Chains A and B, each alone.
Chain A
Amino acid sequence: DAGVIQSPRHEVTEMGQEVTLRCKPISGHNSLFWYRQTMMRGLELLIYFNNNVPIDDSGMPEDRFSAKMPNASFSTLKIQPSEPRDSAVYFCASTLTTGLTGELFFGEGSRLTVL
């Protein structure tokens, strides 16, 4: 089975531009998570969805960030307008939430550079 698929793997953009990151979770998984990784702050949970519904977006830095999950096989994380401090690696992860928590399956990440 294919793992979590993220695109693009690398994105370089200029300040003020809109950035859209995409994620396809593992088929059958019902929870999806967006994380951001930076040297300064480590790995931070931005938002997570359960059955396509956003459950907790308390980690979203500010209104410039938004995330959607229109169906079980696709999610986007959008930054508009982007700023240099948004430069980071953004990971998407998925899991199947059942009686016991399972492991997180991570994509390979999208490295964003905002100039």
Chain B
Amino acid sequence: AQSVTQPDIHITVSEGASLELRCNYSYGATPYLFWYVQSPGQGLQLLLKYFSGDTLVQGIKGFEAEFKRSQSSFNLRKPSVHWSDAAEYFCAVAPSNTNAGKSTFGDGTTLTVKP
């Protein structure tokens, strides 16, 4: 069975600073990988996804993530954080060739942005 670890429960960065949120997964083959963002009182929204091909994927809101098979990681990055990026971020993994709904979610990382 697949699993996802987000080592950082809470991260605080200053506005304008760069951001990296860590995600490590466990799965026997190449999985499908996702990053979602959840603002307070809202549902989750997809930021980006990786299925195959280029290991650096671009998403919405200026986010990108890099799939590193050797490290079983799919870290999310943003070069310059905006105050509106404050939210909770979830990494998710789904077995390849299966339904995205079978995704396993990490416990989330809460991002606080300091002015």
- Determine whether the beta carbon of B90 is less than 8 Å from that of A31: no
Partner of B100, one of A56, A104, A107: A104
Contacts A43-B90, A100-B51; A106 near B45 (Cβ below 8 A): yes
- Determine whether the beta carbon of B99 is less than 8 Å from that of A31: yes
Partner of B101, one of A42, A95, A108, A109: A95
Count of B interface residues, CB-CB < 8 Å: 24
Contact flags B71-110 to A (C-beta < 8 A → 1, else 0): 0000000000000000000100010011111110111100
Residues in A whose Cβ lies below 8 Å from that of B49: 103
Residues in A whose Cβ lies below 8 Å from that of B100: 95, 97, 101-104
**B115 interface residue (CB < 8 Å to A):** no
Query: What is the distance, in angstroms, from A49's C-beta to the closest C-beta of chain B?
Result: 9
A99 to B82 Cα, complex, angstroms = 36
Count of A interface residues, CB-CB < 8 Å: 23
Among residues of A, the one whose C-beta sits closest to the C-beta of B32 is A101
**B70 interface residue (CB < 8 Å to A):** no
Among residues of B, the one whose C-beta sits closest to the C-beta of A3 is B43
Residues in A whose Cβ lies below 8 Å from that of B102: 45, 48, 56
Residues in A whose Cβ lies below 8 Å from that of B98: 101
- Determine whether the beta carbon of A50 is less than 8 Å from that of B99: yes
- Determine whether the beta carbon of B101 is less than 8 Å from that of A103: no
- Determine whether the beta carbon of B44 is less than 8 Å from that of A108: no
A93 to B43 Cα, complex, angstroms = 9
